[in-house]
């Protein structure tokens, strides 16, 4: 029982995992901002980047299985 307490206390004190989560969130926010900026710059429906953005949007918003092919 004492070793479980020490293990849980060590997990609470350890901050390495929190840094990984913080970096992942930063990368996600920067990626979203980059996609939004590039889609605004690209403009036009015939642009390949606009087509890609439309497919990604469909995949992220559609809940039907197999709709992202």
pLDDT tens digits for range 17-47: 677 788 889 999 999 888 888 777 776 657 7
**How many other C-beta atoms are found inside a 10 Å radius of the C-beta of residue 8?**
10
Q: Which long-range CB contacts under 8 A does 6-11 form with residues at least 24 apart? A: none
Residue with tokens 């690209």: 42
Whole-Å CA distances, 65 to 60, 62, 69: 11, 8, 10
- Residue 28 has a pLDDT of 92
pTM check: above 0.85:
no
| Residue 51: per-residue pLDDT | 80
What span, in angstroms and rounded, lies between the C-alpha atoms of 52 and 8? 45
- By percentage, how much of the chain surpasses pLDDT 90? 9
């Amino acid at each position: 029982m004492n070793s479980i307490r020490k293990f849980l206390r060590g997990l609470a004190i350890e901050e390495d995992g929190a840094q990984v989560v913080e970096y992942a969130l930063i990368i996600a926010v920067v990626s979203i901002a980059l996609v939004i900026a590039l889609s605004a710059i690209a403009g036009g429906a015939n642009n390949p980047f606009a087509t890609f953005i439309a497919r990604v949007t469909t995949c992220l918003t559609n809940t039907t299985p197999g709709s992202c092919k």
